[in-house]
Amino acid sequence: MAAITMMLGDEMLGRDKQRHAEIAGAGMVGLAAAAALARRGWSVRVHEKDEQLRELGAGMSVWTNGVRALKEAGAYEEAAARADDLDSWQLRDHRNRVLQDEWMSRGVGESHGILRPDVHSALASAAVRYGAEIVTGSRVTGASAEGELILSTGERLRADLVIGADGVHSPVREALGLTKKKRQLPDGGGRHLIPRLPSDPKNIMIERWVGGRRVGILPCTPDQVYVYLCCPANDISGRDQTTSLDTWIEMFPELRHYIERIPLGGQWRPFTDVVATSWHKGKAAIVGDAASAMS
């Protein structure tokens, strides 16, 4: 919501007059914007290009700022119903030495390991509960600074606010001429969910680095753990997470009991970097990966 608030100001976001928003993309960010605006009395319509709502991915860490955002959207209780509380985040080096694990104990606030589909579902429920309309099978091809969202059918939908929450390849950002740089990085990762065992640690996230590889361990629900395996694009054996994870076990032997639970067939995907000249133009704003991708 930062770009939206910066563009419109608190007065326009208020309840004194109903305004209308058209949103491209029903991912987590688009649905969060829809829920937050609808909760403030806006009429909101969200456009999703796929025929049904779905969230790709596995788990995610939701730090204190994310918790505040979920509460603002009215989705926190549902999203965190199965989540694991995070009390510690350990970074470990190639010798398995702990580099840091103290910053979360310095009044950082509540944080969680959560399944991405749980967050997505909770945000969709909140958006609909507050009155937002979600239209599936509706492909957006662009937008204008004058407040028009353009569909693949050629229809131009006018709004007081147009939001591009349509990902790293955002047609809204491109149409507005806000792309400064978009590039695929020479690094990426595979995301996996594994069964959780009673002996697995609770309330702690672990990330360990060895050379260009890193493994993250994040408990997400009472019966699932999120594991990510990241490496450079030129690490061919590291990228192959479909047929063998033997080199990962060899490099991270102390994490063998996690890695051995990963089902083969996972896919390594590159990370993408996006830099925008601005996060808004006229009556249009871009948010999420459309504005600043994960990197």
Q: Give per-residue burial for 63-93: e unless 16+ CB within 10 Å, then b.
A: eeebbebbeebbbbebbbeebbebebbbbbe
Q: How confident is the model at residue 294 (pLDDT cuts 50, 70, 90)?
A: confident
Tens of pLDDT, residue by residue over 21-48, are 999 999 999 999 999 999 999 999 999 9
pLDDT at position 293: 86
Separation of alpha carbons 74 and 80, rounded Å:
12
**Residue 120 confidence (pLDDT) above 70:** yes
pLDDT at position 101: 84
Average pLDDT on 110-134 reads 96
Average model confidence (pLDDT) across the chain:
92
3-state secondary structure of 294: coil
Q: Where are the alpha helices (DSSP H) in 49-115?
A: 64-72, 76-79
Tens of pLDDT, residue by residue over 177-216, are 999 999 999 999 999 999 999 999 999 999 999 999 999 9
Tens of pLDDT, residue by residue over 50-82, are 999 987 779 999 999 999 999 999 999 999 999
3-state secondary structure of 255: helix
Q: How confident is the model at residue 105 (pLDDT cuts 50, 70, 90)?
A: low
Q: Tell me the whole-structure pTM to 2 decimals.
A: 0.90
Q: Where are the alpha helices (DSSP H) in the chain?
A: 2-13, 28-39, 64-72, 76-79, 116-129, 171-176, 236-239, 246-251, 256-259
| Torsion on CA atoms 278, 283, 287, 293, rounded to nearest 10 | -40
Separation of alpha carbons 32 and 124, rounded Å:
8
E strand or H helix at 198, and its extent?
none
